[in-house]
């Protein structure tokens, strides 16, 4: 049984309302703190905005403090989430059981062993997909290909793994690798009027997507701790590119678990579970001969490319909602049943 979907017109400015419907549908009386991660970031820790809560409120059985971590979090020695550890210091053990940390990082709940409840909701990706659907007419031409290259590898903000990728790929004529400092994309200079609007940037970069068969995705997080599937991967899917990712450990496992296809037929993805000190170089070493081949064919995976595209625009946001709702019900010890969905539906606006 699939979750009752919140209408699409509750995206954008009404995003917080969408979250509240999920929380209340699970029987939670929430104090919701949206976009709780604030700057400055000090010693690899976001400043977290938390309210004052009365003792009477904490005693209410269905009350929960819901802290929305809208961005990726930080880790100490690849194990301890700094933001969760900080929250633990602010509250008693009993109160921690009544806190929900609404996060983007995939695998976070698998690595955290404390009392705070971790619930995944990839809000950044969720909003991106809604924006892509709303602006479809502006970027649909990305699907009209005039292929010159086997691959593109887009690197914006400099990071050590992106610097290394650029060094390894810069002299390979079979593709195009950009770098925010050394070789910025002419269509979308990273440090000139960037604006942090991912759809605008995607539209600016359309010529590169149109001219290439596939993407080597340089993800935001390159680490051995949990990370994110960001717009960098999702925009490759929107451009109907097969892809391989250079990201956090087991990123391709996370991609598959969230409903997308990987492309083992084109890429050797055996590097996915290697430690970060050798993961990137192994990824390129194992795949360079493939992506360099002058007659590199991707037609055999076209059906998977189409499936990814359709799933991204039709079902991915629903999957994000469903994953979140099921985790909330587990916290409240409810069953994911028709009765629960019926009660949830009654709370939705007409």
User: How big is the CA angle at 261 (ends 135 and 220), to the nearest 5 degrees?
Assistant: 65
CA pair distance 320, 327, nearest whole angstrom: 11
Q: Is residue 134 part of a domain?
A: no
Task: Give the global pTM.
Answer: 0.91
pLDDT at 239: 98
Tell me: do 168 and 265 sit in the same domain. Answer: yes
pLDDT at 181: 84
pLDDT at 49: 86
Encoded tokens for 311: 């799933």
Beta strand pairing call for 29-33 and 63-68: parallel
pLDDT at 319: 95
Q: What is the pLDDT of residues 196-239, one digit of tens each?
A: 789 999 999 999 999 999 999 999 999 999 999 999 999 999 99
Tell me: do 111 and 170 sit in the same domain. Answer: no
CA pair distance 3, 318, nearest whole angstrom: 8
CA pair distance 103, 225, nearest whole angstrom: 15
Beta bridge partners of 205: none
DSSP code per residue over 151-167: EEE---S--HHHHHHHH
DSSP helix, strand, coil percent of the chain (3-state; round to 5): 45, 15, 40
User: How big is the CA angle at 250 (ends 245 and 251), to the nearest 5 degrees?
Assistant: 40
Cα 175 to Cα 152, 166, 232, 238, 337, distances in angstroms: 6, 12, 17, 19, 50
Tell me: do 108 and 168 sit in the same domain. Answer: no
Decide if 315 contacts 133 (C-beta within 8 A): no
Question: Which residues constitute the domain of residue 83?
Answer: 8-125+317-347
Tell me: do 271 and 153 sit in the same domain. Answer: yes
Residues of the chain with pLDDT under 50: 1-11, 336, 338-341, 344-345, 348-350
CA pair distance 345, 25, nearest whole angstrom: 8
Decide if 239 contacts 214 (C-beta within 8 A): no
Tell me: do 115 and 90 sit in the same domain. Answer: yes
Q: Is residue 96 part of a domain?
A: yes
pLDDT at 16: 86
Tell me: do 109 and 205 sit in the same domain. Answer: no
Q: Residue count of the chain, please give it.
A: 350
Q: What is the DSSP letter of 2?
A: P
Tell me: do 306 and 292 sit in the same domain. Answer: yes
Q: What is the CATH number of the domain that holds 221?
A: 3.40.50
Tell me: do 27 and 115 sit in the same domain. Answer: yes
Q: Is the dihedral of CA 72, 76, 78, 80 positive or negative?
A: negative
pLDDT at 222: 98
pLDDT at 182: 81
Tell me: do 277 and 328 sit in the same domain. Answer: no
Number of domains present in the structure of the chain: 2
């Amino acid at each position: 049984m699939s979750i009752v979907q919140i209408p699409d017109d509750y995206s954008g400015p009404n995003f917080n309302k969408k979250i509240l419907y999920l929380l209340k549908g699970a029987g939670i009386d929430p104090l919701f703190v949206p976009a709780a991660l604030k700057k400055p970031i000090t010693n690899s820790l976001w400043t977290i905005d938390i309210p004052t809560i009365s003792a009477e409120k904490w005693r209410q059985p269905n009350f929960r403090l819901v802290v929305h971590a809208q961005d990726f979090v930080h880790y100490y020695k690849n194990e301890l989430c700094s933001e969760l550890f900080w929250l633990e210091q602010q509250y008693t053990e009993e109160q921690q059981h009544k806190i929900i940390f609404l996060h983007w990082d995939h695998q976070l709940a698998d690595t955290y062993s404390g009392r705070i409840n971790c619930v995944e909701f990839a809000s950044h990706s969720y909003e991106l997909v809604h924006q892509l659907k709303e602006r479809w007419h502006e970027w649909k031409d990305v699907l009209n290909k005039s292929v010159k290259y086997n691959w593109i590898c887009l690197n914006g903000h400099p990071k050590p793994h992106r610097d290394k990728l650029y060094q390894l790929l810069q002299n390979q004529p079979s593709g195009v690798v950009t770098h925010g400092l050394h070789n910025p994309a002419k269509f979308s200079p990273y440090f000139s009027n960037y604006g942090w609007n991912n759809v605008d940037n995607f539209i600016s970069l359309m010529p590169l997507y149109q001219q290439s068969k596939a993407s080597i995705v340089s993800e935001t997080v390159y680490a051995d701790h949990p990370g994110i599937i960001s717009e960098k991967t999702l925009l490759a899917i929107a451009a109907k590119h097969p892809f391989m990712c250079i990201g956090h450990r087991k990123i391709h496992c996370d991609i598959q678990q969230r409903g997308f296809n990987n492309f083992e037929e084109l890429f050797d993805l055996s590097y996915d579970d290697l430690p970060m000190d050798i993961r990137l170089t192994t990824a390129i070493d194992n795949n360079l001969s493939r992506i360099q081949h002058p007659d590199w064919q991707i037609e055999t995976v076209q059906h998977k490319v189409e499936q990814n595209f359709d799933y991204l625009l039709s079902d991915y946001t629903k999957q994000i909602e469903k994953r979140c709702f099921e985790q909330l019900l587990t916290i409240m010890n409810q069953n994911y049943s028709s009765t629960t969905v019926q009660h949830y539906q009654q709370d939705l606006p007409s």
